[in-house]
Amino acid sequence: MATYIMHISDAGRTDSQMSVEVDAQTSLAQAVQTALEDFTAQHGNDVEFPLFLDIHPAEEFASRAWMHEAP
């Protein structure tokens, strides 16, 4: 099992951050697809393209948390 932190944001002010646990790296692609589908379904017409996706292994996230702080 591996845990990743995914941060999805758009060109506007919409963003979402989640922790995702996957069985193997091969299933990470499915987790990303599901996260993107959930993001666009949840925010609907408020999404402004392009979308930005950051994925970090959870154990490395603390050193990169500054990348995801709100301005």
For residue 53, what are its two tokens? 């996706």
- Quote the pLDDT of residue 25: 63
Could you read off the pLDDT of 3-28 as tens digits, one per residue? 888 989 999 889 888 888 888 766 88
- Quote the pLDDT of residue 8: 93
Residues 14 and 41: beta-carbon distance below 8 Å: no
- Quote the pLDDT of residue 58: 82
Taking the whole predicted model, whether its pTM rises above 0.75 is answered as: no
Could you read off the pLDDT of 32-66 as tens digits, one per residue? 998 999 999 999 888 999 999 989 888 876 666 65
- Quote the pLDDT of residue 63: 64
CA 19/CA 42 separation, integer angstroms: 17
